[in-house]
Structure 1
């Protein structure tokens, strides 16, 4: 589903007017005064995986329980932000859609099936906005071109990053008491599910992205820190991004100590001296 950014900044009333005038099949998302146009028409694999995830989760939620599963046709309202996640689970009072906006307030679990045109948006601006949801416990990214699932699980003030690739790997969504195996998720995409060898993992995070996210989180990134970040490999970058989510409230040195791998800690003090 290609995402096209709407350059003009608007308020919520302006966003609602744009939604009312939107073409059939067009969904508008809203973050910090900016509108993102999400065009329906993704790949067959994207649609199949979205339906599969929603079906598996809905079937395993406790009957008559406090949680319900929704697909991309339902809007998620997160404060002043508005989203159409591929699949999400809401619990408690937020389960009943608002009769006026037809939106659901809050989510405990959000799952996004990655597309080439929206992956950067899902991993960046959208993920940062999702983190503001106090009730969110699991954020899951599902690849459609290989058997690969990435999950962020809230733990205290931060998030734990998990990479799942083997067919018997299990995605545990403890907040809603649901478990999903990779092989059953990808059974709807046979050409992926029957591969004997997994493809090499994509480099989803790089040093530049870590530095950018650190800046968005309010951390200074002087040249010395940039030099340390440049030495991170893809796995270390993914771990650094996960740590960045929960860095608020710590002294500056401790923040970067958590973000950078231990092998670089010996050079951290010198790099921090560049920050006035």
Structure 2
């Protein structure tokens, strides 16, 4: 069954209000912004209006940054609405291929994005918009004196990892393999936020998560860098999905994410430029 056929079985959100015309050059982007689309209309020419709701499925590690960008988008285009579903990229991809209503998919790895492209549910080619690197999250003050990936193998230390099918878990395993270490966690979590929460609640002594999540947690955890993380950096691709009811609005959101202003928000959160 095609995605179009599957989506006819769902109730779609449709908002039909007139909004401000799309500017040829984003007000929040520099004049030489590489995210501008070739052949964009010249200043003063007629451009399509943006309207309707955009549903974005995004990796859990993007929650803070994308929430900020969603508010920026709605403010720039009054009347539009951006709704997010955050979670493990593998689960989100499975939902999309199963027919869940979504317009944009932002994944934490090319592997999970491939689930969607192989199912022919993507409209176009995914583009990497940021990258992310791992850190060890410990309890505040690092009471167990964790200074390396090897320290996580200490007897009696309660360590939590993301599930191996989730990008953060796959990256952690890649880093462990690169260092020749074997680690048996007390639990595998469905996404990076769940893994980090275990440490925040003191249900675990440490976890391997993204540096962006350590940054977002503030003083609830302490981050420890480790050199093996450089061998397990994840690319984050984003793509428009087929049958998006407001494709122009969805494309505009992707453009914001890739714009200079969007990149400033993302790198400010700790993401690496693509």
For the superposition of Structure 1 and Structure 2, which TM-score range results when normalised by the shorter chain?
under 0.3
| TM-score normalised by the chain length of structure 2 | 0.25
Q: Which has the higher contact order (CA 8 A, sep 6+)?
A: 2
Higher strand share: 1
